[in-house]
Structure 1
Amino acid sequence: MSLHDHACLESVDGQAVTLLGARLTGELRGLLFEARVEQRFANPVDEHLEVVYRFPLPWGAVLLGVEVELGGKRLTGAVVARAQAEADYEEALSEGDAAIMLEKNHDDSYCLNLGNLAPRESCTITLRYAQVLQFEQGALRLLIPTTIAPRYEGGPHDSGLAAHQRMMPSVTAQHALELELTVHGSLAQARVASPSHPISVAPAGQGGDATLHVALARQGWLDRDFVLVLDQLAQAGVAVAGPDFAQSGRAAVLASFCPRLADRAPRDVAVKLLVDCSGSMGGDSIDAARRALQAIVLQLRGDDRFCLSRFGSRVEYRTRALWKLTDATRIAAQRWVGALEADLGGTEMQQALASTLALAHDRRSDLLLVTDGQVGSIDAVIQAAQGSGHRVFVVGIGASVAQEHLRRLAQATGGACDFVAPGEAVEPAVLRMFARLRSPRLVDVRLQWPSAAAPDWQTALPPALFDGDAVNVFAGFAEVPQGEASLWGRIEDAGGAGPELELGRAMLDGRTDAPGALSRMAAAARIAETAGSDAAADAASAGVRLAVDYQLVTDGTNFLLVHERAAAQRATQMPVLHQERPMLAAGWGGAGSVRFSRLDFTAQAGAALSVPSVWRASRSSAAGDDIAIPAFLTAHVQGAAAFEPPRRPAKPRVDRNDPRLWTRNDFYTGWTPLGLTEWLRINPESAWPATYAGLRQMGLGLDVVEWVELVLAPQAWPGAAEQDVVRHFLAWMNGVEMRTALSANPPGGNGGAWGRLPMPAGMAAADIAAAEWFADL
């Protein structure tokens, strides 16, 4: 079968269930983005089905409505309390009626339950949602997720999903995506680009009536985030108002600001770099991570300090403490970054974050995390980060980043997030992140409304924010206010907060440019705030009442629609469960490249992918991922042992199980000084290595080799060629004085022993450098 055939799933008897595709249309007014997503389903089999489909919405998006067309009929439902919705849904299925329930999951994804879809019946479900975008260092970034990549879970119920909601993506499915967006008002004058998809852009109108029409330039698929970037914005403050959905005659207002400070001297940073090297980062993602980290290393300057760690199923540290930036440490960091691979298994983010935060540091430091965020739950990670005194900044990389997890982590610690799509330049994201790291925080933030306007309620302001980032505030009024709203705050520095400064302005002109969606967004923000209050039970009850009043799908409410069928059309048996598996995220885990278009598949390529040409055998020993050779291809010669060449006597070996000679831990693996002298003693000089690479191959740890090249050589043998440096170093280690000193008082059995070598008198400077270089071991 060609991979061009329609995407399908097979049921237990080999029949198919199909998600035919999706169409998204959207309107962007100010910072408010409203979208309609049409999902088309069909049941081509001869039995009633219960189709379960899990899908993402953007971070902070609020689901506003669900419209259903079932069997040619338009149907409406309502938002009710979750417990009631679940009971009514199951009752409808048991009575043979059709039912549709939409629920929000613990991980902020959504699950559609389409029950009793009749044989040969089609169903179109249209979702309406809205989202408030965020200024990101003076630009806007619209990210629309289309699929959920596989996520690593540390336990059987890490994500909080029920068994029927857990579904692995399909590598053969092809769900088509159509997309059209309209940008209104002043934003239509911005520069627009998409790093994720080829787009067409068509302007129309002028002035306040200007619009910009954006559409996909070629076929799209539900296999990657759609990203639209708008920069060169003309304003740093935007206000939009709309009528209240539940209270007639009243209005809701959204005021958004992007504070910009005058140029200030950049601060030095102390940052712990932690990069995700789990299997999900394979391919495009680890390539982008290497580029991001190289850009980060180049951004370090002055008295900056940093340390390097990577994680997957375990954590590996390049440094135990913060390195001071020098030419030597920069080169060492660049080499470490260049060698990164996605080879560390699962994504044990909680352990990695906790242990990296605990690394020694002599000043207040931040943590910069580079990851795709593919974990089942972020709650335990947030708990590990909070209270550590570190802000967590995140660069999210991949075609389907778990942005809801990463934004929650950054916000909970006072940090910030930035995202990089495959193929997108990483340098701008890194520059934006370092602008935040070097910028002082803005504290004591307050919002001043026009003098004649007093809000009935207002969502909370952030306790602190960064220069160039967004602050969004919802408020409710008896009528739309007129005049300017202004944002004020103080700059935090070592001496405390400075004088109050005006950070931005937004004009309110009394018009209601946005429909009732704005007040429902405001209600969702109020529900989110009450969810974090101390009176949990009362807050949950109040949140459910508010969600029902404003018809919002939340943690406590579901959308429910029950379609009572005629007696002759009712199902006589309970429906068969079918999980509609999403497309695998493009490039996930190294499964191809995002730049490889699905349109390039041919029937021959599909056949080649469908039938593997080499099978790998499972091994009980640690033989690695080698290819097993079938027995009939191996030679069996009678008396083969008689033709074996004589074996040479075994070479003497240094015992690597002796901790005085060889050490292995999270920070260093290789010979100790005493172990190296033993190796040199039993091996002839002709077998000694002559290059830095040779030193690594014979068992010296990376730290030691880089110390020899970057620290010891310039001070002890300035100007010497690589071969001469290696020869001098090994001769010095094999000298009588070194042997005598190490044998009489061997340094401890760990890598740190290299920092306490008995240096010759003429190498006192190298002794000091060694102690500093290896202080982290």
Structure 2
Amino acid sequence: MKTERLPQTLQREMFDFGGPLLWLCFRCLPVLLLAGISLLLLVSTTVRAESTLNDAETGQLYLQGDAPGYQPAVLHGSSMSVDASGMIAVVTLKQVFSNPSDQWRKGVYAFPLPDDAAVRAMEMRIGERRIIGEIRERKEAQKAYKKARESGRKASLVEQQRPNLFTNRVANIGPGEEIEVTLEYVQPIAYRDGVFALRLPTTITARYIPGGALTEPALDDDTPMTVLPAHGWARATSQVPDAADITPVQHPQPGADGAPHNPVVIDVRLDPGVPLAGVESLYHDVALSRSGGVYTITLATGKAEMDRDYVLEWRPATGSKPAAALFTEQVDGQYFGLLMVVPPALERVSPATPREMIFVVDTSGSMGGVSIRQARESLHEALRMLRPEDTFNIIAFSSDYRSLYPRAVPASRHHLQQAQEFVRHLDANGGTEMLPALRAALQPIGEPDEFTPHASLRQVVFITDGAVGNEEALFAEIQHLLGPSRLFTVGIGAAPNSWFMRKAAEFGRGTFTFVGDVGQVSEKMTALFRELSSPVAVDLAVSLPEGADMWPQRLPDLYRGEPLLIAVNFGTQLPADDVIVSGTIAGQAWQRQLGFGGADPQQIAQHEGVASLWARRKIEGLLDDKVRGADPDTIRAAVLPLALAHQLLSPYTSFLAVEQPISRPAESPLRSHPVPNSRPQGQTSQPSAAAQTYAYPRGATTGPAKLWFGALLMFVALLVRAVRGEGADA
């Protein structure tokens, strides 16, 4: 075959510039391009095939075959049945998956739950077979699950990865079989500013994984139960060693209620116990009916997309707002109580104290779309509420952080105009390196002097979706650096990391606020600033009989509209005397006497779930001590028997269900099948080429793809240089 020769000038230029090697590369250009493109396609195919637990969006069952990696199964639908009474909700979550292939499969089911929920039961149905889960010590359960899986028996293993993120592993799913997963949990109903609220998460924003990559263990489905993440960015890091378990597969697609990818049906039975002024669903259209004092709430369209939290609020009628309430349950001869007391909302009578307000705003890639607009509007509203005697500063962060001013400045008209302009230009991109921004916010910059003294009241308002994987490291830093400051968190987006938001505010001795819609910004920020300016109830104490076990043991300061909610194990008898709650508000002593002492146990209404909530709160309090520096082995020794006794999931316990008959023939291999899940509502698309814009960690893309793509770009650059040289000679 005849080939045309290159012009003499171009040949001479290429020899002068790169020598014979460059000439050889140029002649081999078609082969090199074909080889490079083929390798890139191979790498990208491997990435798609080897998905791991890299971004829990909706509850999903991820199937695994012979090759390492997980793929989502076909999800037919989810249902949530809620029985809400008083301050407690019992929720039954069911999800139906199917294996449409002719291959045997195993899978991982990832699902979000309320961060304060007590998961107490699990059941799995495969065809006509019903498998009930039992609680076991975590490592023991993992070994039993692996043994059942390898022997061909059907088995499932439910584990807590975070208080609001769980996984359920399923082994030996037969061809064409349908699987129904049922979970039961108990959660407290929130009460604040005269409004009750029930929040049901259905999706989780992708978590950012900071830190340097660690050497991965060999592929193993036992301990730890991870596989090498094909995307690379979810590898175990120095700050998040369990990254692969908390960041499930990332293939989100936008859904719609009219034609949902992952449909959910939600039915709520609400028995508030008091007359109501109104019931409202914040983010879903609902149909409501009432029979006597009991309300039934269903989705108006019958089903909805699992791309945003379900939030239901109800307001007591005027004169029916509770000042105190006690809910009890008797289990195994012991009485458990859930006590709520609402301190009076006193108005400030003394002149307002000057404040130093530090606003920290998350501008990482996971805040793209509606979230960054909510964040900007929240800041605009907050700046408008500053008083002339206040000082302020703004810190914006993503992969790094930047401050508007070197230090807090007076809230003058000039400075506020500069700040409003700064906020208008905030955009979402990059990773979520939260720790440096927190340090900058909690540590006052510079020494006070006569011109810029430090304010006696320093308040930090942290606006974020909380999409990070190193939560405990952040809690420890807040605990260490807080000093006289107070930290208030504002959750942004359709599905913020509620556990991080709530616990960060607790360790920061502040409050947390959710802003799920742009239309709520003004109302929510006004309520927050009313809290910031109101007297705080401090030095709270509760008189309980000797031997009563109360959690939390460290009672928090309470802000305006915030109730004191504690869980108590009274022992074998209810209190013989009245319970007294006391504290100090605006420098004045305050006390409330609760007339529960000496009550006939038979006359006190029983509320299912109180005992589970007490155990859940005690477990949470013990784990908080680990953040404060307590010995991890001591904490484990205290939590494990408590979780086993109350049949609860915890970091040290798991639910295990094993079917006795062997289902899968030994010669039948396991395969996988993919299906997309849903993206949190309002969140912008995060293309893989811009991995750093979707909460992915640095240095977390596939190495081979980078190497070959970089070599290809270098070759193209040399070629362009040679061609440009020919044009110059001509």
TM-score with structure 2 setting the length: 0.73
> Which of 367, 372, 382 is matched with 2:460 structurally?
367
Pair 331,108 (structure 1): closer, same or farther in 2 beyond 3 Å: same
1:26 and 1:182 in contact (8 A); partners too:
yes
Partners of 2:194 and 2:276 lie apart in 1 by 14
- Specify the alignment match of 1:214 in structure 2: 297
SS at match of 2:520: coil
Pair 515,263 (structure 1): closer, same or farther in 2 beyond 3 Å: closer
Deviations 1:503-533 (A, max 9, x none): 6858687545444421121122222233345
- Specify the alignment match of 1:281 in structure 2: 367
2:348 and 2:535 in contact (8 A); partners too:
no
- Specify the alignment match of 1:755 in structure 2: none
Pair 185,507 (structure 1): closer, same or farther in 2 beyond 3 Å: farther
SS at match of 1:407: helix
**1:317-716 matched pairs, under 5 angstroms:** 317-343=403-429, 345-360=430-445, 362-364=454-456, 365-388=458-481, 389=483, 390-448=485-543, 456-459=548-551, 460-477=553-570, 478-480=572-574, 485-491=579-585, 498-502=587-591, 510=601, 511-533=603-625, 534=630, 536-566=632-662, 570-573=665-668, 575-576=670-671, 582-589=677-684
> Which of 199, 207, 210 is matched with 2:286 structurally?
199
Partners of 1:423 and 1:322 lie apart in 2 by 28
Q: After the TM superposition, which of the residue ranges 157-166 and 63-72 deviates more from structure 2?
A: 157-166
SS at match of 2:196: strand
Q: Which amino acid aligns with 2:474?
A: V
Partners of 1:165 and 1:115 lie apart in 2 by 20
Q: Which amino acid aligns with 2:660?
A: E
Q: Which amino acid aligns with 1:224?
A: R
Q: CA deviation at 1:579?
A: 8.3
- Specify the alignment match of 2:691 in structure 1: none
Partners of 1:45 and 1:118 lie apart in 2 by 9
> Which of 325, 334, 351 is matched with 1:239 structurally?
325
1:16 and 1:45 in contact (8 A); partners too:
no
- Which structure exhibits the higher relative contact order, with contacts defined as CA atoms closer than 8 Å and separated by 6 or more residues? 2
Partners of 2:414 and 2:406 lie apart in 1 by 17
Q: CA deviation at 1:229?
A: 2.2
Q: Which amino acid aligns with 2:201?
A: P
For the aligned residue pairs, the C-alpha RMSD in angstroms reads 3.4
Pair 46,512 (structure 1): closer, same or farther in 2 beyond 3 Å: farther
- Specify the alignment match of 1:696 in structure 2: none
Partners of 1:130 and 1:221 lie apart in 2 by 23
Partners of 1:577 and 1:110 lie apart in 2 by 21
> Which of 185, 191, 206 is matched with 1:135 structurally?
191
- Specify the alignment match of 1:737 in structure 2: none
Q: Which amino acid aligns with 2:644?
A: V
Pair 194,281 (structure 1): closer, same or farther in 2 beyond 3 Å: same
**1:737-752 matched pairs, under 5 angstroms:** none
Q: CA deviation at 1:368?
A: 0.6
Q: After the TM superposition, which of the residue ranges 502-511 and 473-482 deviates more from structure 2?
A: 502-511
SS at match of 1:271: strand
Partners of 2:265 and 2:177 lie apart in 1 by 23
Q: Which amino acid aligns with 2:309?
A: D
Report how many aligned residue pairs link the two structures: 585
SS at match of 1:551: coil
- Specify the alignment match of 1:53 in structure 2: 109
Q: Which amino acid aligns with 1:412?
A: F
5+ unaligned residues in a row in structure 2: which ranges?
1-59, 212-234, 256-260, 447-453, 688-707
Deviations 1:614-638 (A, max 9, x none): xxxx9989x9xxxx9xx9xxxx99x
SS at match of 1:437: helix
Deviations 1:150-201 (A, max 9, x none): 1111134344436366423333471111001121133561422122111222
1:396 and 1:403 in contact (8 A); partners too:
yes
- Specify the alignment match of 2:381 in structure 1: 295
Q: Which amino acid aligns with 2:373?
A: D
Partners of 1:171 and 1:437 lie apart in 2 by 38
5+ unaligned residues in a row in structure 1: which ranges?
1-6, 493-497, 593-617, 644-777
Q: CA deviation at 1:393?
A: 0.6
- Specify the alignment match of 2:89 in structure 1: 33
Q: CA deviation at 1:120?
A: 1.2
> Which of 148, 165, 170 is matched with 2:251 structurally?
170
2:346 and 2:535 in contact (8 A); partners too:
no
Partners of 2:666 and 2:335 lie apart in 1 by 46
Partners of 1:350 and 1:535 lie apart in 2 by 24
Pair 132,461 (structure 1): closer, same or farther in 2 beyond 3 Å: farther
SS at match of 1:475: strand
Partners of 1:162 and 1:281 lie apart in 2 by 20
Pair 439,381 (structure 1): closer, same or farther in 2 beyond 3 Å: same
Deviations 1:313-364 (A, max 9, x none): 1112111111111222222222222222113x11111111112333427224
SS at match of 1:300: coil
Q: Which amino acid aligns with 1:544?
A: L
Partners of 2:144 and 2:650 lie apart in 1 by 18
Deviations 1:573-618 (A, max 9, x none): 56446788742212224679xxxxxxxxxxxxxxxxxxxxxxxxx9
Partners of 1:559 and 1:338 lie apart in 2 by 49
Q: CA deviation at 1:423?
A: 4.3
> Which of 177, 181, 186 is matched with 2:268 structurally?
181
Q: CA deviation at 1:82?
A: 0.5
Q: Which amino acid aligns with 1:524?
A: R
Q: CA deviation at 1:18?
A: 1.0
1:30 and 1:238 in contact (8 A); partners too:
no
- Specify the alignment match of 1:727 in structure 2: none
Pair 391,425 (structure 1): closer, same or farther in 2 beyond 3 Å: same
Pair 238,182 (structure 1): closer, same or farther in 2 beyond 3 Å: farther
1:366 and 1:393 in contact (8 A); partners too:
yes
TM-score with structure 1 setting the length: 0.69
2:137 and 2:652 in contact (8 A); partners too:
yes
Residue 251, structure 1, aligned to residue 335, structure 2? yes
Q: Percent same amino acid among aligned pairs?
A: 24
1:461 and 1:473 in contact (8 A); partners too:
no
Pair 503,338 (structure 1): closer, same or farther in 2 beyond 3 Å: farther
Q: Which amino acid aligns with 1:340?
A: L
Q: CA deviation at 1:571?
A: 4.8
> Which of 219, 222, 225 is matched with 2:309 structurally?
225
